[in-house]
Chains A and B, each alone.
Chain A
């Protein structure tokens, strides 16, 4: 079957570092995406991992371990505008581009 597990909610302080974990089970694997979604808005692309290891992009980094079915999104120097939902989305096998989204983690950044 296909399953994605993320914490539902997290709270962190402005300027801090937060790590959002995601474990997944998919039929085959063709990479994993992280999207950010502010309340009432569209999901926007943050990162993509297809090989094991860390991908760094400014204040955001994403890590993947395919053998463990595990990924995390690391947000550094948190800002108030980072308060949003973060969606983990692995892609299963096949070439259809189909993404499987988790429920998302709602992050609240406090002053």
Chain B
């Protein structure tokens, strides 16, 4: 009965590789998010999709490309991985994505780039 799930939980890879992280929510929410939490614990929004439409696109290198095949899934593809991409990536969802919505987070994917 997991609400927001992510795979994989851990990802260790070499610089220059391309990798994907998958996220699924079974809450029936319309909006999904990707956040990056760095070593200093700052949690920063990267992208948000509402019903498969991109609504937030922060200043993120274009090596990062989100894809939402349907409103229950939001995947994150990263090309040409760099050392600075090492972080924990959290997926989240909220009912409508409006100003008063509560966001529910997935367990996170710890990405380590060597």
| Chain A interface residues (CB < 8 Å from chain B) | 30-31, 33, 41-45, 48, 50, 85, 87, 91, 94-101, 103-104
A residues in contact with B68, CB < 8 Å: none
Q: How many residues of B contact A (CB 8 A)?
A: 27
> In chain B between 56 and 101, which residues have their CB closer than 8 angstroms to a CB of chain A?
56, 90, 94, 96-101
CB<8 Å pairs between A and B, sample of 21: A33-B102, A33-B103, A41-B107, A42-B90, A42-B105, A42-B106, A42-B108, A43-B43, A48-B102, A85-B41, A87-B43, A94-B99, A96-B97, A97-B48, A97-B94, A97-B98, A99-B103, A100-B45, A101-B43, A101-B44, A103-B42
Which residue of B is nearest A104, CB measured? B41
> In chain B between 29 and 47, which residues have their CB closer than 8 angstroms to a CB of chain A?
31, 33, 40-45
